[in-house]
Structure 1
Amino acid sequence: MSDPRVAEHMPLLKSHWDVAAVDRFVAFKEASWARDGLGHWAFLNDGAYVGWGGFQKEGDEWDFGLVLRPDVFGLGRRITQKALAFAKGDDRIPFVTFLLPPSRKHLGALRKLGATQIGTVDYDGETFLKFRLETR
């Protein structure tokens, strides 16, 4: 999260990323698991940490997010496909949303998945492009 190539597309990442910030972040994500029974995962490739992501409940919707180390950006498609296969098998998730900052210009992969843009949304003072993908 401290890599500028990652932070460039994370407009909500406004503070310095240090140990205290990591502790707050992990506590917030663990609370999602306790509250909703689902949340974010750590992703490993050949036993090495490559990033995090998964599903977070936003109101009545399940939003999918993925943050990878820049040297493994190419794993995004495979990880997303596995996560969406999980969503399709989970009765709690009739559809998935994706919130992307306007700085993300290459959206073809999202459209190839079948996601459609349904508008924009303001989240914590920032504007995001909102996409939806049916899982049933």
Structure 2
Amino acid sequence: MKTEITFTRLPRIRPDEIIAHMNDPRVAEHMPLLTVTWDRAAVAKFVVGKERNWRRDGLGHWAFLSNGQYVGWGGFQKEGDEWDYGLVLRPDAFGLGRQISRKAIAFAVADARIPFVTFLLPPSRKNLGALDRLGAKFVGEVDYDGTPFLKFRLDTE
């Protein structure tokens, strides 16, 4: 069966699906800023914040669907003058990262507002081959909210 990947807005996803996703310990392994247990209030705050970014920037994070089923969230978020790409998948969908990212990066290449994309990964991430295959270059280590991250950049023009 062919896997159809679609992007939709986060308010279309049932809060319980996001709660289960974000409370899975396998998701938290590489998310050092994920320090709270998610509940309905946390999901509501999260979705409101992501929708605020859409209104402010005309772009933001999506919910990712595989054959119509929620598998995670991510997309582009404006960080200063840069568009940062993030991807947070449910563990049972980790294998879809390449397909989802390929579609998202194609979106960025076609969008004149995005001359390059940045990626912030925690130092715990050791397998960086996907970024290399995309053509992303290591920029250096940066501090984000008191936590070190590895920063990469992919030119899209």
> Structure 1 residue 119: deviation in Å?
0.3
Deviations along 1:70-118, one digit per CA (max 9) or x if unpaired, are 0110100000000000000000000000000011110011111000110
CA RMSD for the aligned pairs?
A: 0.6
Hey, what does 2:15 align to over in structure 1? none
- State the SS of the aligned residue for 1:51: strand
What is the Cα deviation at residue 15 of structure 1?
1.2
Q: TM-score, normalised by structure 1?
A: 0.98
Unaligned stretches of 5+ residues in structure 1: none
Q: Does 1:91 align with 2:101?
A: no
Q: Does 1:40 align with 2:61?
A: yes
The structure 2 residue matched to 1:14, chosen from 35, 45, 48, is 35
Report percent identity of matched pairs.
74
SS of residue in 1 equivalent to 2:127 = coil
SS in 1 for 2:117: strand
Q: Structure 1 runs of 4+ off > 4 angstroms? A: none
Tell me what 1:77 maps to.
Answer: 98
Q: d(CA) in 2 for partners of 1:108 and 1:9?
A: 16
Tell me the TM-score normalized by structure 2.
Answer: 0.85
Q: Gaps (5+ residues) in structure 2?
A: 1-21
